Structure 1
Amino acid sequence: MRAVVMGAGSWGTAMAKVLADSGNDVKIWARRSDLVDQINSNHENSDYLPGITLPSGIRGVTSVAEALADTDLVVCAVPSQSLRGNLEQWREHLPADAILLSLAKGVETSTGMRMSEVIGEVTGFPARQIAVLTGPNLAKEIAQGQPAATVVACVDEDQAKRVQEAVATGYFRPYTNTDVIGCEIGGAAKNVIALACGMASGMGFGENTLATIITRGLAETIRLGMALGADITTLAGLAGIGDLVATCSSPLSRNRSFGARMGEGATLEEAQAATNGQVAEGVKSSSSVLALAELHGVEMPLTQAVHSVCHEGMSVPEMVSSLLGRSTKPEVYGPA
């Protein structure tokens, strides 16, 4: 398959490597010519994946038209809140029969749309040509060839199988799913819960606390997913609990690490400065996921708490106190 990865961050670069290792013809697009030169000359992206040697067949390009020409699979590897703007620039160059694969995990702040919905609205492509890839996929570990699994979701199972074949390698095992809603909600919500786990860790709390946050975060995700029509079994799998555990537990997770700095007392701006000016996806997603939940009458107290810390000036200790002070109730995972 002829594939192009639009975006040369850590996950986009790792996915380009996976596609090349699977035997595809791979291009990777980046705005910066110095990054493209580095990929073509040194077969490395030292800015985002230092120490990882990329297959020599990966070709870096800066031209959107060149990147998208004669392409079967377009991998959208830009942050969720910038996806719409990028798609508007790419739209006229997209091959009409290509599959568009989203790597972004989030809910658009301005519209409440999931990433597949944004892709469909901007490009006019039918849902059967839009897929998402999600799961416990930490970019550095996958780029190192460590064993991992993922989920390729598309409403058209045959198209999902085409992408599955394109990304399958000896170390990367893809499963298919037609529940796009469940896969996307799991991917968006877990970034917010990972921030909460990082904040708790930064305050010095241990494994009991983290297990509690992960489990209650899963309950929130299930409630929202079910309200939107997701299959609960999706959220019990790789796209739900699998992605949640990896993102909430690993220091390689930007959301977990970002939250930990805030738990140690850093402001949002200080935490951002410590991550080379990059804001964790969960910071913005805490607002958009919360708005989506409120629209559908779903209670998400952890998400509300993270939003309050990131956007309303609440301190992390105050967040913990507010959560512990909530009224006791039965443990339920359904709509109640």
Structure 2
Amino acid sequence: MSKKVAVLVAGSWGTALASVLAANGLEVTMWTRGEEQAAEINNQHRNSRFLPGAELSPRIQATTNMGEAVQGASAVLIVAPSSAMRSVVNQLKSYYTPDMLIIHATKGFETESLKRMSTVISEELECEEGHIVVLSGPSHAEEVVKRCPTTVVVASLDKAAADAAQALFMNAYFRVYTNRDMLGVELAGAFKNIIALGAGMSDGLDFGDNAKAALLTRGLAEITRIGVEMGANPLTFSGLAGIGDLVVTATSQHSRNWRAGSMLGQGQKLEDVLNSMGMVVEGIRTTKAAYFISQKYGVQMPIADQLYHVLFQDREPRDAVEALMGRDPKTEMEVMKLETWEQWHS
């Protein structure tokens, strides 16, 4: 197997994962559309826009030519924003060969079609979705690039593919588990961004720890409920891709979703928040997707619904909280349909 890995694209998470691969002795070529960014990575070993202050390994090179990035690579790691995933993979198609290991680390949906990223990739590459590997879990790029201890999960229906991805990334500071529930890992990674937005909004409103703890707990129940209805294993939502990623994304100022929510809670408009962030906030697009997915599957997602109204229908954040607090009384264990629960516990 070639020791070269291609990484598409050169954002913060892609760069951090490229650093892990380089630390493992692999030659990494990153693809970017920006000539200046490529030159900075190659000549200064930095990616100052996305990871300021981080020094990159000389094993990491960058190019604006996708064919050059992919040529000779045994694995391709795709970390494009969800909104750009289809167009990026469409370009990859010209250079893709069936023996390449395809891994993606993007947490979101294609908003227009409501499709998961693995589905989009398989459609464009005309390959089996089950052979794609999903990488997810609690992992801030800013900490990974500093080699802080981090644990993630790689999931695929193809055990050999998951094992190969595990071997690529595993090292002394980056621990990797495998999981066969690719659907659940992908859904958990996407949906938790919605709850992280809500947690940031709660903090921006200065609602305190009680409110945020309730939001995270009920949010986990909400994303588990829709995930199981869509076919995922409920245990996945108690793992690294679920509660692990939810905690780190909803409680840290490294989190773009938390920061965006906090600014919204402080009264800033969505357009101003996005302009000031300067980077993709996946939770915003995911909130829109979840609003329609919940309708499609007939599953209640009250937190996602209220965030949708705040983001896209100008509802005031305080009014959204009042609507959540004023819902009809429920039992705490109304997480999923009884027959689904019995299916996993029989």
TM-score range, shorter chain: over 0.9
Task: Say if 2:73 is the partner of 1:71.
Answer: yes
CA distance in 1, matches of 2:273, 2:280: 8
Q: Aligned to 2:151, what secondary structure does the other structure show?
A: strand
Count, aligned residues: 335
1:167-194 Cα offsets, whole Å, 9 max, x none, are 0121110100110110011011111111
Q: Aligned to 1:218, what secondary structure does the other structure show?
A: helix
1:1-336 to 2 correspondences below 5 Å: 1-276=3-278, 278-332=279-333, 333-335=335-337
CA-based RMSD of the aligned residues comes to 1.0
Look up the equivalent residue of 1:269 and give its one-letter code: E
Which ranges of 4 or more aligned residues in structure 1 deviate by more than 4 Å? none
* Conserved? CA contact 2:152–2:176, under 8 Å: yes
Instruction: Indicate the larger mover: 255-264 or 289-298.
Output: 289-298
CA distance in 1, matches of 2:46, 2:10: 11
Q: Aligned to 1:132, what secondary structure does the other structure show?
A: strand
Look up the equivalent residue of 2:316 and give its one-letter code: S
Look up the equivalent residue of 2:177 and give its one-letter code: Y
CA distance in 2, matches of 1:23, 1:99: 18
Q: Aligned to 2:330, what secondary structure does the other structure show?
A: coil
* Conserved? CA contact 1:181–1:230, under 8 Å: yes
* Conserved? CA contact 2:41–2:47, under 8 Å: yes
Q: Aligned to 1:160, what secondary structure does the other structure show?
A: helix
* Conserved? CA contact 2:196–2:250, under 8 Å: yes
Look up the equivalent residue of 2:306 and give its one-letter code: A
1:22-57 Cα offsets, whole Å, 9 max, x none, are 121211111111111111111111111011111111
CA distance in 2, matches of 1:68, 1:303: 38
Q: Which runs of 5+ in 1 are unaligned?
A: none
CA distance in 2, matches of 1:307, 1:100: 32
* Conserved? CA contact 2:81–2:280, under 8 Å: no
1:260-305 Cα offsets, whole Å, 9 max, x none, are 00000001011112212x3411111101122112111111000001
TM-score for both structures, normalised by structure 1:
0.98
TM-score for both structures, normalised by structure 2:
0.95
CA distance in 2, matches of 1:292, 1:264: 29
CA distance in 2, matches of 1:307, 1:2: 42
Q: Aligned to 2:175, what secondary structure does the other structure show?
A: strand
CA distance in 2, matches of 1:135, 1:335: 26
1:232-272 Cα offsets, whole Å, 9 max, x none, are 11110001000000000000000000000000000101111
* Conserved? CA contact 1:188–1:289, under 8 Å: no
Structure 1 pair 279–58 and aligned structure 2 pair: CA distance change class (3 A): closer
* Conserved? CA contact 1:70–1:95, under 8 Å: no
CA distance in 2, matches of 1:29, 1:335: 45
Q: Aligned to 2:144, what secondary structure does the other structure show?
A: helix
